[in-house]
Each structure stands twice: as C-alpha cells, then as structure tokens.
Amino acid sequence: MFSFRSWSGALALSAVLLVSGCTAPTSGQGAPVAESGIASGEAVMVEDAAAEGDTATVVRVIDGDTFDANLHGEVTRIRLLNVDTPETKHPNKAVQCQGPEATRALTALLPVGSTVSLDYDVERLDKYKRTLAGVTGPTGVFVNTELARLGLGVAVAFQPNVKWYDAVKKAQSEASAGKRGLFDPAMACTVPAAQQALSQTITAAGGEQTAEAATATAEALTAQSARLEALRSLLEEPSSYFAAAAAFAASDLAPLIDRARGSRARAVSTAATLSANEAARQRQAAQVAQAQRRQEAERQAAARAAAQQAAQAEAAAQQAAEAERQQAAARWAEQQQVVPAPDPAPADPEPGYHGPRCYEPGGKVWHPCG
C-alpha cells in the first residue's frame, strides 16, 4: 500500500520539465505518453491509442474524475485511473476545495457527445462497478494527467492499477511548482493558503499596541491553527485527496502549528499586559481628572467668594457714596436756606437828630423815644 506521507519529499521538489521525444509512461500496449513542461503549457498527449482499448461517446460529466459514456451501446460510468479530484457529489461530504473547478475542467476536456479513447490496467472495475480507465479526450489530451497538471487532481494508487500513477504524480509536481489549483496560496480554501495565512499572522504577531489588537491576533491564531489542525487530520487519512494536495507532509505542519501556539500564548500575555497597563493608565487618568475637577471646583469657589466680596465692597461703596451725597445735599440745602431780613428802620423824622433811642427787645430795632 502506498504511503501518502512519503509524498511530501517529492511534492517539495521543483517540477521536472520534459522535452519532446523522451520516453514516458506507456499505455496498455506500450503506446508512449508524451508529457510537456510547465513553460509550454501543453497538455499530456497520447500519440497512439492502445490496440485493445475502447472508444466511447461522452454522455455526461459527473464530477472531476467520473463521467458517463456510451460504451458498446450501453451507458457506462467511467472512473479515471490514478487521479483523484475533490468531491462535489459525495453523499457524506461537503463540496471540497477546487471540486467545482475540477468538474468544469473535465467537462471542457470531454464535451458531451465527443468520442474518447479508453485504456485499461490490471483490473477493469472498482467495487462500485465503475469502469477504470486512462482516458484520451477528443483533442488527444490524456485527461488523467491533464487534471493533475492543472492542479485539480492528485495522484492516487488504486492497487493493483498503477499504470499512470507516476505520470499523474509528475504532472502533480508541475502543478505544485507552478502553484496551480490545489497548490495555489491565493485560493483561500487550499492548504498552502492556510499555511501562508498562519505564517503571516505569526510573523506579524508581537507588534500590537493595544490590548484589543493583541486579543484579535490571538483569536486569529486560534482560528487559523484550528483550520490547519483540521487539514492536518485530513492529511492523515489515506483516502483524502488532501494527503497529496498539501505541499508538505502532515509532520511538516506540526512545527508551524507549534509556532502558532507559542505566538498565541505570547499574544494572550501581551493582551493581558496591555490591558493591565491600560487599566493603570485609565486609573491614573481618572485620578488626574479628579484632581483637576477638585482644583477647578476650588478655583470656582474662590472666584465666587472673591466676586461676592467685590459685590459687598461695591455695595458698601455705593452706600457710602449715597450717604455722602445725601450729606452734601443737606449741607447745600442748609446753605441755601433764606434768612429773613430785619424790618427796615423807620425813617428818621428828624434827620440828624440824635435824641434818645428806644430799642425794641433784642436791641436791634429802635425808634426815637418819646
């Protein structure tokens, strides 16, 4: 039984470019399968169909590695050998990453109504009674390896049928080196994307300036680590296409997840420290604000007291001024009072006479006696 963990070393290698004319895996009767390199972008071609192979007419595409064809007058379900694509129709599984893309790719490679060539290996049927075959499309493209070259399928060994396993695996290496399909870190659902996102979060961790930012980093590390843990569990399932889709073995993910755990612990500690510092700053700010409010209250009280004293002094000054005004008015009125003039002395009947004078009481008014 092939060990999926042994694929990690090969998946990490750069794609091997093949030149035209080199010897390649053969079809059922030794017909060569020529594979192209990444630079040329050419699909894998079958130059000579197997003499004992069959031809069939495509009826419908089921998913990325299965289709129905009219074979010898009967609609027969064909399963591509030695390539596995993500699930889209599995009754117990959700639609997997790049599954719809794989289905669309097979639909383009095998249009409904087109004639295809079928080649077989040791066993003709699987346990589901599907016909196992290497399939050459109407344009001469060897579909099994083409799906892998596009990054939409991975090599899988259906013992004892391994005729195209090496060819599919080589095409898969091209996709890995070219970061296509399941190996594209720009596709959020892929293992490399999850690995890249976690690596970037780990690298960015530690520069948080607030407790909220550190907490957000810790939460991101937790979520991303959990996702990668889930993917790692898939890597450990021999039946999972993720086992080959990852650019590294399950054991290679462990150091990254451990780093993430360490970064998360530091982020949590940083969040606690920043939170405590922020709480201390808030307490200090509250104390300063309270002291400022107290000082302002004291200043306002002093200002009110000074204003009250000034008002009282102003009132006293006004009262004093009013009293002074009243006194001045009284003095002026007193000064302005008219003193009655004394009655004029009677005319001297005898001018020049200086006889006796008789004065009235008070000694001011007199008249001649007599």
Q: Which residues participate in catalysis according to the annotation?
A: 79, 87, 130
Q: Which of 131, 128, 144 has the alpha carbon at shortest distance from 91?
A: 128
Residue 56 one-letter amino acid: A
Q: What is the 3-state secondary structure (H, E, C) of 22-62?
A: CCCCECCCCCEEECCCCCCCCCCEECCCCCCCEEEEEEEEE
* Angle (deg, nearest 10), helices 250-335 and 211-235: 160
Centroid of chain to Cα 238? 34
How do beta strands 83-84 and 54-63 pair?
unpaired
Q: How many CB atoms lie within 10 A of CB 272?
A: 13
Beta bridge partners of 135: 118
Write 341-345 long-range contacts (CB < 8 A, 24+). Answer: none
